[in-house]
Amino acid sequence: MSNLTATGAPALVDVRGPRFVAWVTTAVLVVALLVSAQNPAAAAVILGVQALVFAVGAALGPRRHPYGLVFAAVVAPRLGPVTDREPVPPLKFAQLVGLVFAVVGALGFASGLVPLGLAATGLALIAALLNAAFGICLGCQLYPLIARFTPTQ
């Protein structure tokens, strides 16, 4: 799916989907941090899988994001009608930011640089929790600044 609709307007998604994704991501990151205390290599694997999830979200957008698919199939049908939507491009950028932190965290844990793994995972956790609990998407907030300095095609 494109970042634009047929009319050229940005594609929009139900805001509840990305918040659900953020809750699941928060849980995965908490598990990674808890596991890292006993087994940094296992934490690296958990973050590696989360990095793949972030990569799918960054490349394909929220409608094809693995957790977004769960939201669409299981959660959304049980909710009322959509009342608020948000654009796809900032969400894809936020997933890219998450991908960077997950990769750094996984590499930190895998290479024995546990403090690096903890810091990267902790920062990703803060961002995910802010989005999940308060609807504050840090990557989405950064997107307009980055987009301003990106050449258009």
pLDDT in tens, 72-115: 999 999 999 999 999 999 999 999 999 999 999 999 999 999 99
Q: Tell me, yes or no, whether 43 lies in a domain.
A: yes
Crossing angle of helices 88-111 and 138-148, in 10° steps, is 110
pTM of this structure: 0.89
Q: Tell me, yes or no, whether 3 lies in a domain.
A: no
Are 120 and 104 a contacting pair, CB within 8 Å? yes
Q: Tell me, yes or no, whether 1 lies in a domain.
A: no
Q: Tell me, yes or no, whether 4 lies in a domain.
A: no
Q: Tell me, yes or no, whether 153 lies in a domain.
A: no
The boundaries of the domain holding residue 125 are 14-148
Q: Domain count of the chain?
A: 1
Q: Tell me, yes or no, whether 2 lies in a domain.
A: no
Q: Tell me, yes or no, whether 9 lies in a domain.
A: no
Crossing angle of helices 16-36 and 88-111, in 10° steps, is 10
Supply the mean pLDDT for the chain.
Answer: 92
pLDDT tens-digit map of 122-151 = 999 999 999 999 999 999 999 998 888 877
